[in-house]
Amino acid sequence: AQSVTQLDSQVPVFEEAPVELRCNYSSSVSVYLFWYVQYPNQGLQLLLKYLSGSTLVKGINGFEAEFNKSQTSFHLRKPSVHISDTAEYFCAVSERNNAGNMLTFGGGTRLMVKP
């Protein structure tokens, strides 16, 4: 069974500052990794994903994440945040050999961008 830990429940940051949202996972098999964003009163939107290949993946809205197998981490970064990035961010994993491909989510990190 896999699990996901997002170490920070809330991250306040000033506009135009860099931000890192941390995600660690646990699994006995290889995994796919995802970051989703949820804006207030909306559904889940995929930001980026790691399937294989380069460990640095770039996503939408200027976000990127780096897969670190030895540390079982997949931290999300953005060099300069905007007010509009205020949202809940969820890290998720799915097991590579699982035909059903269910996603296991972390507890979420609320990013609060202040002017």
Partner 1 sequence: EPEVTQTPSHQVTQMGQEVILRCVPISNHLYFYWYRQILGQKVEFLVSFYNNEISEKSEIFDDQFSVERPDGSNFTLKIRSTKLEDSAMYFCASWGAPQEDEQYFGPGTRLTVT
Nearer to partner 1, 52 or 70 (CB): 52
Name residue, tokens 């941390």. 22
Alpha helices in 58-112 (DSSP H): none
| Contact of 35 with 76, CB cutoff 8 Å | yes
- Work out how close the CB of 9 gets to partner 1 at its nearest, in angstroms, rounded to a whole number: 10
Min separation Cβ 11 and partner 1, Å: 16
Span 33-92, contacts to partner 1 by CB under 8 A: 34, 36, 42-46, 49, 51, 90, 92
Task: Please tell me the distance from the alpha carbon of residue 109 to that of residue 54, in angstroms, as a whole number.
Answer: 25
Q: Does 8 bind partner 1 (CB under 8 A)?
A: no
